[in-house]
Structure 1
Amino acid sequence: MNVSEDESQLSTIARQGSGSACRSLFGGFVKWIMGKEDDGSDSLAVQLVDEKHWEDLFIIIVVSKECLEKVKQYIFLLNHENLTCFCLRERCRGIELQSFWVCVHVIFGHDTQANLEMSFGCSQTMTLGRD
């Protein structure tokens, strides 16, 4: 890119466009750090491993209509400003963080036999994921 800023700083600028833009500056596996500032100044991407780390890995993502609805419900739960149960909101965020670390373990371990099932069970009355 022939610029003096490091790529994480550039990802902060790219994030003003979109989350995908900030992750696209890197190859390989990248984590987007959402940040807390309203202006997005602390939102950036960090490369976990480069594209040569696992050259024979190909990822195909298929999203079914049923899965998409559950993801939308989950995102609504995390973002709903009127969510009265602080514990529920934090539990959902904890599940999200735990799932991330499972994925990191699989990436660094080249675990080709991994069977990752993302299930978001946020409460007994509303289970997001497999029944």
Structure 2
Amino acid sequence: MKHDKRPPSVLTRDAALKKRPVKNEEVSETPSDDGSVLLSYTISVKPFFVGLIRRFSSRPDQPMTKKIQLDALGTQVWKLIDGRRSVRRIIDAFADTNQLHPQEAEVSVTQFLKSLGKKGLIGIK
């Protein structure tokens, strides 16, 4: 007996651009001297690796953290994420600030937001 798989719900482009990204409250931001931002966040480790970490780490009970240093453009987008602005408004502000064609800004910003989302650094409302 075959089970019919439902296709994943597809969000239209317009609907996606109306969504509002929200920063994960667990992510800490550290401003750098050059104006960029360093993001730090805790990562979850698969059970197999927990044993290895306990065995070989000098700090086995410390949660594992990862850090990402944003460049100037990433920092601009990060600072625009406030939970109130839609993706479209973030793209428009980014395009205006950097004198980019709207389509070029859309591609750059949406790819960046996707990568932040995959890492769990932002959510979408």
TM-score normalised by the chain length of structure 1: 0.26
Question: Rg larger in 1 or in 2?
Answer: 2
TM-score normalised by the chain length of structure 2: 0.27
